[in-house]
């Protein structure tokens, strides 16, 4: 048995791994639920994790207020404002007002959104076509060769066929070569995976927009259509769509 440093690097970079985890969480929140009879997507709180305070950058959280007549009013509040009003002056917003504004934005911009999504899909298709898998295969083959050299070098030192000084000098050279190849491998794999994730997202969004049976104004679809929602102030909201469109709307 031999132990060689950095002989088995991460399959993908930490940045790409975080991206995949974020995408999984987002997909789980909008997972199909055909048994409910409420459409293909469902979400308990569609706005969860979507609202960002334009004043301090903090997230919003949901809480309820009971009016004097006993009516329960779902409301969203900046977490920093909730902890200390002096730290952020952003006031709470009623959930119903946010959702109604979102629906108006969708209805007013659906044509533009469809057009941009179509263009984006074509662009991603072209990007996927340009990804050179042969280059990645070549890098992996070169890595295998260099790693075998390191293993053989370690074995030679173990069997005292070379001196420690010779081992250290050769290992330093080989490890630098392996490190550079590993970095290129991570870059290529990360680039490919990110593009594939974008492609899947755009395909799903396009399917939703083209399906006449799907109510694209349904708030539960926010998780798929929107990147985030920025609350500029108590009367203005900015909707940032995953397709790259940004729409500012007055409540």
Average pLDDT over the chain, rounded to an integer: 81
Closest CA to 6 of 190, 170, 146: 146
Question: Starting at the edge strand that comes first in sequence, how are the strands of the sheet with 226-233 ordered?
Answer: 51-53, 226-233, 236-241, 246-250
Residue 152 confidence (pLDDT): 95
Q: How far, in Å, CA of 106 to CA of 113, rounded?
A: 8
Least confident of 24-28, 118-122, 135-139, 215-219: 24-28
- Within the chain, what is the greatest distance between any pair of CA atoms? 89
Question: Which among 66-75, 193-202, 230-239 has the top mean pLDDT?
Answer: 230-239
Query: What pLDDT band is residue 17 in, cutting at 50, 70 and 90?
Result: low
Residue 24 confidence (pLDDT): 57
Rounded CA-CA distance 123/127 in Å is: 6
Between CA 145 and CA 65 the distance in angstroms is 66
User: Residues 153-172: what's their mean pLDDT?
Assistant: 94
pLDDT score for 16: 58
Helix (H, G, I), strand (E, B) or coil at 7: coil
The answer to pTM > 0.75 is: no
189 or 250: which carries more pLDDT confidence?
250
Structure tokens at 229: 């929602």
3-state SS, residue 81: helix
The average pLDDT across 172-184 equals: 94
pLDDT digits (tens, 9 = 90+) for 212-237: 777 777 776 778 889 999 999 989 99
| Closest to 207 measured CA to CA, from 224, 223, 230, 192 | 224
CA–CA dist 118, 243 (Å, integer): 10
Please determine, for residue 29, whether its predicted confidence score (pLDDT) is greater than 60: no
> What does the alpha-carbon distance between residue 181 and residue 7 come to, in Å, rounded to a whole number?
12
- Which pLDDT belongs to residue 36? 39
* 158-163 contacts at long range (C-beta below 8 A, 24 or more positions apart): 158/2
């Amino acid at each position: 048995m031999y132990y060689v440093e950095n002989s088995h690097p991460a399959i993908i970079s930490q940045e790409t791994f975080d991206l995949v985890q974020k995408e999984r969480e987002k997909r789980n929140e909008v997972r199909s639920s055909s048994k409910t009879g409420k459409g293909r997507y469902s979400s308990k709180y569609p706005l969860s994790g979507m609202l960002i305070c334009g004043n301090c950058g903090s997230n919003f959280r949901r809480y309820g207020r009971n009016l004097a007549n006993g009516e329960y009013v779902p409301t969203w509040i900046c977490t920093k404002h909730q902890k200390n009003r002096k730290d952020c002056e952003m006031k709470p917003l009623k959930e119903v007002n946010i959702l109604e504004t979102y629906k108006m934005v969708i209805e007013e911009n659906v044509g533009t959104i469809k057009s941009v999504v179509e263009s984006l899909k074509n662009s991603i298709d072209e990007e996927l076509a340009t990804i050179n898998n042969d280059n990645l295969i070549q890098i992996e083959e070169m890595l295998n060769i260099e790693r075998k050299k390191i293993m053989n070098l370690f074995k030679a030192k173990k069997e005292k066929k070379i001196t420690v000084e010779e081992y250290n000098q050769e290992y330093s050279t080989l490890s630098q070569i392996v490190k550079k190849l590993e970095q290129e491998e991570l870059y290529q794999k990360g680039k490919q995976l990110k593009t594939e994730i974008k492609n899947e997202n755009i395909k799903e969004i396009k399917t939703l927009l083209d399906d006449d049976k799907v109510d694209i104004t349904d708030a539960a679809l926010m998780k798929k259509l929107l990147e985030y929602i920025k609350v500029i102030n108590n009367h203005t909201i900015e909707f940032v769509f995953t397709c790259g469109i940004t729409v500012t709307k007055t409540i």
